[in-house]
Amino acid sequence: MPRLVFDAEQLHLTLDDGQTLAQHVLWLQDHDPARRHANGQRLDSVLDLDWDAAISEAALEEGDVLRVTLSNAREIRYGVDELAALSTGFLDERSSAHKTLWQGSEFSVARVEWADVIAGGEALRKALACVRDSGVVCLRGVPVEPGKVLEVIEQFGYVRETNYGKLFDVRTEVSPSNLAFSNLGLGAHTDNPYRDPAPSIQLLHCLSNEVEGGQTLLVDGFAAAERLRELAPESFALLTRTRVPFRFHDADHADLRSWVPFIETDHKGNIRQVRYNNRSIASLPLPLEAQRAFYRAYHDWARVIGQPEQATRLRLVPGDCLLFDNSRVMHARTAFVAGGNRHLQGAYADLDSLYSTLNLLENAR
């Protein structure tokens, strides 16, 4: 039997499992289930709260309904389970607190068959849960046809069209005359930090990969940020409070600019988003006295991201489609060392619709 204690301002309800729900009279007014439309939306505004109201009586009816009477004669009823659910709310899906962080040397990207995903049900849920929890999944056996990457997005959300179009081609031909393309390696980065908001999902669908080398490297940026916090706490703190300018300027189509931090945290210090892209960082109008400390922190961040043990490597084969959280996972490519074609098609989408689809699938379980 739940145990109830209250005074004029607050109420404590201890459930049979030992959990205590503790709520203020203002919270109890604001969450009144009777003040919701049938669609679940609130009917009242915060301006409707009665700041003079006190709890004058509270009782459990039939063991599972809490009746609260206020000094203004208002009665509020909560089912005990309903009150417990409202008190817990839902988790912040973007927060590192609810994710599995990984070091590349101990991690391999989960693979899910495309045929199972389009059949619906558990395979799609599993693939999306991988993106939520570890930031990445590799779909296998996506037909090697241009444009298929957009069909992958249709399984969970919406294409984020940009000035590059709905999709973009990453195509390289290494000819015998330029075999030593060692400088074609690209360091670990997040895409498009010059957009605000940056696309939070990236897809890369492999249509051909005949080159030697040309592996894909992935780094868990949340794990890298935690490593930075451990190794260089001052640098970590500085990067969370310093906004950095990024820019993509193309004479004909775009002049995209942003002022965003390398590392974003929530009020508890959990990481919610990271960025790193040395190619698109813009000129830094820093005061002289701030320059050394900023470069120290920026250097520390780059060094942690570049540590070989942070990265997991995989070689994409035709039909593979990588789907990853671009607010978290950094991607890189190793240099090509021998001839052939490499053709990937990329596209962007956003996490909100992916989480929405995943939540619906998990609600239905």
Within 13 Å, how many C-alpha atoms sit on residue 46's CB side?
Answer: 1
Which of 25/219 has CB closer to Fe ion?
219
Among residues 257, 260, 223, the alpha carbon closest in space to that of 240 is found at 260
We find the least distance from the C-beta atom of residue 301 to Fe ion, in angstroms, to be: 18
CA-to-CA distance for 68 and 75, rounded, in angstroms?
Answer: 6
We find the least distance from the C-beta atom of residue 347 to Fe ion, in angstroms, to be: 12
- List the x/- string, 190-209, binding to Fe ion by CB under 5 A: -x------------------
We find the least distance from the C-beta atom of residue 312 to Fe ion, in angstroms, to be: 16
We find the least distance from the C-beta atom of residue 262 to Fe ion, in angstroms, to be: 16
Instruction: Give CA separation, 184 vs 67, 147, 165, 203, 337, in Å.
Output: 68, 25, 24, 20, 10
What phi and psi, each to the nearest 5 degrees, are found at residue 220? -75, 105
Which of 191/320 has CB closer to Fe ion?
191
Where in 25-44 is the site for Fe ion (CB under 5 A)? none
**Pair of tokens at residue 321:** 């489609």
Size of the site for Fe ion (CB under 5 A): 1
Which of 104/193 has CB closer to Fe ion?
193
Q: Which residues pair with 340 in a beta bridge?
A: 174
Which of 26/254 has CB closer to Fe ion?
254
In the complex, residue closest to Fe ion by CB: 191
Where in 213-232 is the site for Fe ion (CB under 5 A)? none
Among residues 310, 309, 304, 315, the alpha carbon closest in space to that of 276 is found at 304
- List the x/- string, 231-260, binding to Fe ion by CB under 5 A: ------------------------------
We find the least distance from the C-beta atom of residue 189 to Fe ion, in angstroms, to be: 6
Inter-residue contact 183 to 174 (CB < 8 Å): no
Where in 154-193 is the site for Fe ion (CB under 5 A)? 191
We find the least distance from the C-beta atom of residue 191 to Fe ion, in angstroms, to be: 4
* Residue 325 binds Fe ion (CB under 5 A): no
Alpha helices in the chain (DSSP H): 25-30, 80-88, 114-118, 122-134, 148-154, 221-231, 233-241, 288-306, 351-363
The beta strand positions in 17-140, using DSSP E, are: 20-24, 55-61, 65-70, 75-79, 111-113, 136-140
Which of 53/347 has CB closer to Fe ion?
347
What phi and psi, each to the nearest 5 degrees, are found at residue 27? -60, -45
Which of 157/193 has CB closer to Fe ion?
193
Which of 191/350 has CB closer to Fe ion?
191
We find the least distance from the C-beta atom of residue 331 to Fe ion, in angstroms, to be: 6
CA-to-CA distance for 141 and 76, rounded, in angstroms?
Answer: 55
| Longest CA–CA separation in the chain, Å | 87
Which of 191/220 has CB closer to Fe ion?
191
We find the least distance from the C-beta atom of residue 274 to Fe ion, in angstroms, to be: 14
**What residue ranges bind Fe ion (CB under 5 A)?**
191
